[in-house]
Amino acid sequence: MSLDISVIVPAKDEEESIPEFCQWISRVMQTHGFSYEVIFIDDGSEDNTWAEIQNASKINSAIKGFRFNRNFGKSAALQTGFRAAQGDVVITMDADLQDSPDEIPELYRMIREDGYHLVSGWKKKRHDPISKTLPSKFFNALTRKISGIKLHDFNCGLKAYQSTVVKNIAVYGEMHRYIPVIAKWGGFKKITEKVVEHRERKYGHSKFGLGRMRGVLDLLSISFMGKFGKKPMHFFGSLGTLSFFFGFIFTASVFWNKIDSLFISKVPMKRDIADQPLFFLALVALIIGVQLFVTGFLAEMIATQSHSKRDYLVIDKVGFDKKAEVVLNA
């Protein structure tokens, strides 16, 4: 049976916040009469996070969870939750109590009534150290420029989706930072943002910092795959054809000068063909052109025949039946 809302909550060493988070979100859902589930993903916690999730599930059957055997990262946690979610609207939020469950009713309304595919939270007023805010500002500006999506906070953990979106996108590596970009390239273009409350961290410490600077490589990867993932020959073939064309022109020019010196003008060339740098540049351009074309051809064959699949090792779960396990591993 379909639910109104699935809330997906990645958690890494958040034992102190789990009980308060569960009480808060249950109160919000009951107040507004939503049918719901809360799916925790314990991403290799080294404290008692999993025990707290199990205890919460005993108190409230709507609270469920998966436990990874080690830390796979936020993208892996979200992808696992996306595959198991049964709600018409899927909402992601962090377990550290910096995201407010009170935002859920309005996010739900924007998806169901306004018809948005994705609503991203915007932490307009942040309570984070400069080690988080400075890299975020840089990458948000860069991502807006490259993707054309006018969001202020791409990496905000509080987001709402139509269920169709999360069932048709794949999140891996560190791609969770750019889910709006992945959704856009997947054809889900009705994307907007909502100013949300950003609360000061009550327990624990931040798991992120300047390491997110590596995210620029993920952004370039997403942009390339979005444009050429299904048609790599358009990229490699075009560059290969261009390189081969210039190589051919240069080679023809060198040989024409040789023919002209021998049979037409009969003016001896100052240097032989093999002594001219242009000749070697022409050969390099021809070889690169052929290599790029062959690369595009092979990539085209792989793109049309392969289907990526990635499973993460779940060593325990709570609140799910066998049917849910089938959905997760499909």
CA distance 27 to 154: 28
Determine contact, residues 215/139, Cβ cutoff 8 Å.
yes
Tens-place pLDDT, residues 258-295: 887 877 877 777 677 777 888 888 889 999 988 988 88
In a domain, 221, yes or no: yes
Same domain membership, residue 166 and residue 113: yes
Same domain membership, residue 213 and residue 126: yes
Same domain membership, residue 214 and residue 268: no
Read off the tokens for 87.
């709600």
CA distance 324 to 1: 12
Q: What share of the chain is helix, strand, coil (3-state, %, to 5)?
A: 50, 15, 35
In a domain, 272, yes or no: yes
- Which pTM value belongs to this model? 0.73
In a domain, 325, yes or no: no
Same domain membership, residue 56 and residue 186: yes
Which stretch, 33-42, 137-146, 152-161, has highest mean pLDDT? 33-42
List the domain range (segments joined by +) for residue 199.
3-227
List, as one string, the DSSP characters of 96-110.
Answer: SS-B-GGGHHHHHHH
Instruction: For residue 185, give the amino acid letter.
Output: W
CA distance 76 to 74: 5
Same domain membership, residue 187 and residue 248: no
- Domains: count for the chain: 2
Same domain membership, residue 285 and residue 148: no
Determine contact, residues 47/71, Cβ cutoff 8 Å.
no
Among the candidates 175, 206, 227, a domain finishes at 227
Confidence of residue 305 (pLDDT cuts 50, 70, 90): low
Same domain membership, residue 242 and residue 210: no
Among the listed residues 96, 107, 46, 36, the one whose alpha carbon sits nearest the alpha carbon of residue 71: 46
Q: What is the CATH number of the domain that holds 70?
A: 3.90.550.10
Among the candidates 227, 262, 283, a domain finishes at 227
Determine contact, residues 327/83, Cβ cutoff 8 Å.
yes
Average pLDDT of the residues of the chain: 84
Among the listed residues 7, 66, 57, the one whose alpha carbon sits nearest the alpha carbon of residue 35: 7
Same domain membership, residue 248 and residue 186: no
Q: Comparing 308 with 87, which gets the higher pLDDT? A: 87
